[in-house]
Amino acid sequence: MNRAQKIPIEPGDTYTSPGGFLVFTEQYHRKRGYCCTSGCKHCPYGYDKGTGRVRNPKGL
């Protein structure tokens, strides 16, 4: 998927945290297809903000 393409939000892609933040789920991240390197809570790519490395670039 092209990084410039918009991905439609579907049921199960997000939830609202107790603090009122919109949180993307692992389902959404896998659908997007790449790590954004923001340190997302449900990142399936294993991004580590401390090292700046992605442990699992394919998200498998």
CA distance linking residue 41 with residue 44, whole number of Å: 9
Predicted pLDDT of residue 1: 58
Q: What is the pLDDT of residues 20-44, one digit of tens each?
A: 999 999 999 999 999 999 999 999 9
pLDDT at 6 (0 to 100): 83
Give yes or no for a contact between 24 and 14, defined as CB atoms under 8 angstroms apart.
Answer: yes
In degrees and rounded to multiples of 5, residue 28 shows phi and psi of -65, -45
Nearest to 5 by CA among 27, 24, 32, 28: 32
Place of tokens 């990084």: 3
pTM: 0.77
Rounded average pLDDT over 9-25: 96
Asked if the model's pLDDT at residue 60 lies above 90, the reply is: no
Count CB atoms within 10 A of the CB of residue 45.
Answer: 20
